[in-house]
Structure 1
Amino acid sequence: MNSPPHSETSKSRLTRVQVDLNAVAHNAACLRTVLRGNHPPRIWATVKGDAYGHGIANVIAGLAQVDGLAVSNDAERQACRRAGWRGPILMLNGLASIDDVQPLHDPELHLVIHHPSQLSWLRTHSPDHPPSVWLRYVGDLNYTGMNTCTYRQAYEIAEAMRRAGQIRMVGHFNHYAQSDSVDGIRRASQQFMKTIRGLSGPVSTSNSAALLLHQEHSATNDWVRPGLMLYGASPLAHRAGPQLGLRPALLLQSELISIQTLPGNTSLGYGGAFVTPRAMPIGIVACGYVHGYPRQAGTGTPVLVNGIRTTLCGHVCMDLMAVDLTPIPHAEPGMPVTLWGTAELPAEEIARHAGTIAAALFTGLSANLPIHVIPIAT
């Protein structure tokens, strides 16, 4: 059966995103369960990357159970305030230059300090509301931060500033490079704890992977920093969010726009990347890499057509992809197609086929996609 073509404009509207705040709230509640104890850590919900592509303004209402938000930069801090967040905000990238100090007028601001000169900027141009600071240890990630020697020197400077009222608090910040492996944090944690031995102030080290795989260690934190798990995806290899009791918060959907039956031994798509092994029905879906679907996904990548599992055939095009309709003999144009975001088809599974990670799928979605937000159920 052949069906009439859709216009380019209508095809772009058929691919859409749904963000479920009930899933975000559920995942935050799951985290509270993990953190049970006499003195459970407080929670920085990481909303950098526009809340991992879910939209800061979209997810704030689902994060009522957390204690603070962690962002990359001041633009994201402002987005949180515009969205109505009134609690603490941690700026993970800290200050890029001395010019970043003067505009800071936020009484609930926390800054990550990557090098001692950032403390000098704060001391020279004290903002109206002294921020809290978190000294970043370079750790085993070796991106930014201070080594043991410069860390302790920075602490002495920061403590003097705290006593002078130029900052409110001094905390200790680390980020593990291998928290997604069973023995991945032991040596890095020992080195960090040796560095901060005898220094007062709260400690924050644990991201989603550490929270899920190193719960005993995470329980010793004063603040933890979950990110990916709040959105229902797993940072652990070979385990998807639903297997951990999490609910995917982002659903990517489109529709079938065309159906045809191709003879056997017929090439399909650019480069003839797929050749039909037999006569088979092929559906065309209005989604491609222009929408943010990974081009490197190919034949065998799963999709759900009207809730029934099947696979892609050939290359993903700019705004189209082909799927095998053999398992759906009564398929019709207009049927819904789920690309990822359910317990049956989590983003992690698509990421494995595409050689990437779920966070890259979420943050790679086009900003032009229509988004429907499901509010918290009352």
Structure 2
Amino acid sequence: MSLRVPTGRTEFTEAAAASEDGGATISMGKYDASQTLGATSGGSSPAEYDLSIALNYGQSAGSAQMLRWVTEHTELVCRPPYSDWSTCLTVGSTGALEQALRIFCDRERGDAMLTETYSFSTALETAAPLGIRVLGVEMDDQGMLPESLDDLLSGWDVQARGGTPKPHLLYTVPSGQNPTGATQGAARRRAIYDVCSLHDVYILEDEPYYFLQMPPYQRDRPVALSQPTPAQTSDDFLDSLIPTFVSMDVDGRVMRMDSFSKVLVPGSRMGWLTASEQIVERFVRHGEACNQGPSGFSQAALYELIEKTWGHEGYLKWLAHIRESYTQRRNILLDACVDHLPAGIVSWNPPAAGMFTMASVAFSN
């Protein structure tokens, strides 16, 4: 299996990938591991992963090689503040959400899930056939309001709610929320976490757009802001990101779902989750009975790209590049809104992350 990819030495474009300086052909054979077992210090390093491994039945948690990569990446990005956290691969975040709902909720018990007033339509459609009621929490331009969440939970009356137990599960998209584009700031995330800790609510943190966080929108931008920003160091890039729920999770009450879909390869149907070892163990057991883990082709291709070719430094450079691309797209879209939509009738909040914005239209007699 061979792929032509940009190396990131020059730029991340198709033209760069096709060139000698900016591209490389990466490949994986069927028996690479066994053929290089005798490699010496003077030759090539032994391969540890090949197609005979990737395309055979494997572990539901994912291959050891990709698990090592996502664990290292999570340590770099999230730094979970407790020791017994773990990761496992998923068949994308939608598949991970469906598994999580089956684990945490019970149809016969009449469980309900909390989320934003406006929420990801696929998440709602995932919950519906499982018999899980979905309750919306009020929002503002930073997403879910912790005060409204606390009021809802503090005043929960099982009898008045038709026997529905007090919710113990919250689903949220903190960065670039679909469909509103809202992004929770650091203080907002801390306040929501504190409310969930008070009421013993478990958090499903869905973060496919986390790395697409953008600088504030300016209509009349200086010329410098209309051009690609200078290359950042990896530390600068990571420091510019809002802390995640899992990075403030001292209770082990967060499952963070990451995905390659919105930043690399949607068709890979591959992501990973981070949670306590106890939760990940249950998730893996469930995966053994429903999907057996992500595609071996996807794991092999991504391993060759992000581990063997880019490494963590190169992948963070790619994420900074893709963030810049989406920032330029957002600016073009909002410039057009300012130029062509009637002020006083149509309004919107410039998104600080992600791929979405939502406009409001005011009608008058």
TM over 0.5: same fold?
Answer: no
- Greater relative contact order (Cα 8 A, min sep 6): structure 1 or 2? 2
Provide TM-score, normalisation by structure 2.
Answer: 0.32
In terms of fraction of residues, the more helix-rich structure is: 2
* Bigger share in strand: 1
TM-score (norm 1): 0.31
